[in-house]
Chains A and B, each alone.
Chain A
Amino acid sequence: MKLTLKIWRQENAAAKGGIQSYPIDGIEGDMSFLEMLDVLNEQLISKGDDPVVFDHDCREGICGSCSLQINGEPHGPDRLITTCQLHMRMFKDGDTITIEPFRAAAFPVIKDLMVDRTAFDRIQQAGGYISVNTSGNTIDANAIPVNKEDADESFNAATCIGCGACVAACKNASAMLFTAAKVSQFALLPQGKVEAATRVLNMVEQMDKEGFGNCTNTGACEVECPKGISLENIARMNREYLSASLKG
């Protein structure tokens, strides 16, 4: 198929960027979206132009590197996938596709479609862990039984890949779903309860410091999350936060 790509190009963080148009031909439905961009880049390189820079790594939907706002939606029009799992069969011949970086003040553009998501790392560093030493001198794994439902729910929250689609989709660029997923993972486990209060307070404080917007419960994050992480996690974090604040 033949497509027109409108891609955000920006030399570096300081430069002013803009949308540029690229016609592309010979795209097959079996190609992934990133493979389509590979084809474009091969063409650009052969013409002596700068290839489009974008983050990607595992290309199987788990590392969370790939981003891209495609036709106004993070990871494009398909659901429960990342951009690398989006296949060109979702598009038709003659389509125009707009490709932009994930936009948030907390995710500054590095180059073209590549953004800096280290704000997420800093939120995790503020408390996204259980403070046990890694020496291995812990009790036997089965000495801590965990209710299967809680374990499953904790796992579901833990499947977050930190891609930032929630932030990109949210009209407020809020990082609540991301933060809530980690808070929930630990809040649901007996091992995580010990530090639950300080964890949620510190992580939310860091999240706010990074300049993400406020949650207004639009639910866009849940719809666009490639791992289908539920809004219930945000409610749980609100609960955890409020009770932690009251405890003082």
Chain B
Amino acid sequence: MSRLDSKIPEGPLAEKWTKHKNSIDLVNPANKRNIDVIVVGTGLAGGSAAATLAELGYNVKTFCYQDSPRRAHSIAAQGGINAAKNYQGDGDSTYRLFYDTVKGGDYRSREANVYRLAEVSGNIIDQCVAQGVPFAREYGGLLDNRSFGGVLVSRTFYAKGQTGQQLLLGAYAAMNRQINRGKIKPFNRHEMLDVVLVDGKARGIIARDLVTGEIERHAAHAVVLATGGYGNVFFLSTNAMGSNVTAAWKAHRRGAFFANPCFTQIHPTCIPVSGEHQSKLTLMSESLRNDGRIWVPKKIEDARAIREGKKKPTQLSEEERDYYLERRYPAFGNLVPRDVASRAAKERCDAGFGVNKTGEAVYLDFEAAIMRYGREKALTEHIQDPSEELIREFGEKVIENKYGNLFQMYEKIVDQNPYKTPMMIYPAVHYTMGGLWVDYNLQTTIEGCYATGEANYSDHGANRLGASALMQGLADGYFVLPYTIGDYLSNDIRTGPISTNTPEFEEAEKNVTHRIEKLMSGSGKHSVDHYHKKLGKIMWNKCGMSRNAQGLSEAIEEIAQLRKDFWANVKVPGTSKGVNQELEKAGRVSDFLELGELFAKDALQRAESCGGHFREESVEQSGEQKGEALRDDENFKYVSAWEYKGEPKDAALHKEDLVFKNIELKTRSYK
């Protein structure tokens, strides 16, 4: 018997959200003034939720570990945000966006949630333009679109390679307006370390002031967790250094189920690892695959020569190159979804065709695009028989206009000019589709505790399409949560202020201080990073782009062992008073060490390949799809939601069966 009630409204798919909005309870404006909401995390999901809730009249407290809400990691999203506006008239619609997202997610997401997401997507763009987000425009003054992986329409709105930044600054501006009005109280440089339950309801949090080191109690009528993903469990990822699972994990420990932890997105276009000292990986936007062609040498000798520095990629003729995505997936070519592109790169590199020193890189080549754009431009300028140099000059200009900041970023890191020589890229951990289980209202299994954005599991199934994370974060924060949370809070209009002077807060605070003391009292053998790197290696090797039962079982053992070692021997210098960045890291890594194990356990039980989760045991054995991932709808058409039971290995599995009434389950083919 499952305790999971997804609360999906009845009725036809396209009417569910409207009907739901019409039927849920509202809180009158006078009563909203008496209700407090805590929002943890100030990225797109948290920032937008905080601003909207404050605007509605609730008293909002926001928490972020950064020194300003504007620095949340949504800021790093590059390529764009999807919306079913159909401005290009290329056949886009709400249904198509819904369909693409469900298919892209390999049929492991909830139909109703995804449809709602597609439904409100257009509003997001309207909203952001009204807020002054400077999206890219065409010469006629209207908004421009680009295309992204896994879809056949152009529905991605963008602001050069800094779309996340612009959207986040929009949400931050909306927050600032409410801060100025006194409706939001921001607690920056604060980290949430526990959620407090009173009578089974989330009624507050315990947070540590990262400047003074003080442990604080904060009460509210509801708690929203918008704390992002847990990609940093791999140590190396494109996440910010501080991105962590702590808030979500604390909620999990208090009763929130953790869903699909093994669904991780490994992004195909990142800058390859350069050495042991590497602290983080840098993404090169997926939008680059619009114009870049991915290849490795056809002959293994050439790959070897390139690795040894004896040959340059530009010396290889067209015939000597293997554009393996175009070869394997002629319909989508370089724009296959991320999971497919990543696995294909790994396959080539594992086969010995990698092109950098470590053998873990493939080329992303703009030569063809530069020449194509250059010729187009020469044509529009009415230049007869333009020279190759002129074409190249024109073409490079066009490319610079589109991706200038990305090319500059690449050159600074790799010290090679990507206009002249192809970029080198390799997959890296980027996003986690898994997260806290939520119902249709975005409420976790703890009453009054909500999860939005990447922190929840809801919309992307087993693989997220490009430019959909921004869409989901803002949809949750601006348009979904503010409605659904009202339904819950309407029961709290007579509750009055929540006191922090209760045994529940006392217990939670003690729990936090005790854990900090324990972290500070390790034997002092190894630094926090030592453990984090070790965990990352286990995760990458055994729970990475391809997984098998044996590796996963080993990972479970190894992580448990590492966790034990961590608690006995970690070294956290200094004291818990004042700024102590090692202590902050230690707390986060201690939670990753638990999550990692659950991650492996989840991957082990899901003996199918779907989306970003590729099990070597589950591949197509024959036919056109031979070697591609094999999904098993008969046995695994569910969300795995884990209940905390002490050690991660003892976690109890609950299954939410996924019902597909509007979409036919098909083998995902991009051929």
Contacts and interface: CB of A to CB of B under 8 A. Distances in A.
Direct contact between A and B judged by beta carbons closer than 8 A: yes
B618 interface: no
Contacts of A215: none
A151 B415 contact: no
A56 B240 CA distance: 9
SS class, residues of chain A in contact with chain B: loop
B134 A130 contact: no
Interface stretch (B125-133, B385-393, B631-639): B125-133
B277 A60 contact: no
B51 A134 contact: yes
B277 A39 contact: yes
A85 B164 CA distance: 19
Contact of B479 (A29, A45, A136): A136
B52 A130 contact: no
Interface string B275-312: 10111101100000000000000000000000000000
A146 B139 CA distance: 9
A63 B66 contact: yes
Interface residues of A, number: 81
Contacts of B120: 136
A142 B73 contact: no
Contacts of B131: 129-130, 132, 134, 191
Contacts of B180: 125-127
Contacts of B275: 28, 30-31
B412 A136 contact: no
Given A132-B130, A158-B134, A162-B70, A57 B240 contact: yes
A141 B579 contact: no
A80 B408 contact: yes
A36 B415 CA distance: 17
B76 A129 contact: no
Interface in B401-431: 408-409, 412-413, 415
What are the 5 A-B residue pairs with the smallest beta carbon separation, nearest first?
A145-B141, A129-B173, A155-B134, A136-B123, A138-B130
Contacts of B162: 62, 159
B80 to A, nearest CB: 14
Contacts of B67: 55, 65, 116-118
Given A148-B138, A162-B68, A60 B241 contact: no
A32 B581 CA distance: 19
B130 A125 contact: no
A62 B71 CA distance: 8
A241 interface: no
Interface stretch (A16-24, A46-54, A97-105, A231-239): A46-54
Interface in A73-115: 78, 80-81, 85, 87, 89, 110-111, 114
8 contacts: A28-B277, A87-B412, A124-B173, A130-B130, A145-B142, A148-B137, A148-B138, A191-B129
- Of A45, A124, A134, the most chain B CB neighbours within 10 A belong to A134
Nearest to A163: B71
A19 B125 CA distance: 50
Contacts, number: 223
Contact of B174 (A42, A45, A129, A144): A129
Given A42-B527, A45-B573, A155-B134, A57 B177 contact: no
A59 interface: yes
Interface residues on B, range: 35 or more
Contacts of A144: 129-130
A127 to B, nearest CB: 8
B160 interface: yes
Given A56-B241, A148-B141, 10 more contacts: A12-B579, A38-B277, A60-B283, A128-B176, A129-B176, A130-B173, A132-B130, A138-B126, A145-B141, A146-B141
- Of B55, B123, B277, B529, the most chain A CB neighbours within 10 A belong to B277
B621 to A, nearest CB: 41
Interface in B69-89: 69-73, 75-76, 85, 87
- Of A12, A34, A136, the most chain B CB neighbours within 10 A belong to A136
A139 B126 contact: yes
A108 to B, nearest CB: 11
Contact of B581 (A53, A80, A146): A53
Contacts of A72: none
Interface in A151-203: 151-152, 154-155, 158-159, 161-162, 185-186, 189, 191-192
B409 A85 contact: yes
Given A59-B279, A134-B52, A134-B127, A124 B172 contact: yes
A131 interface: yes
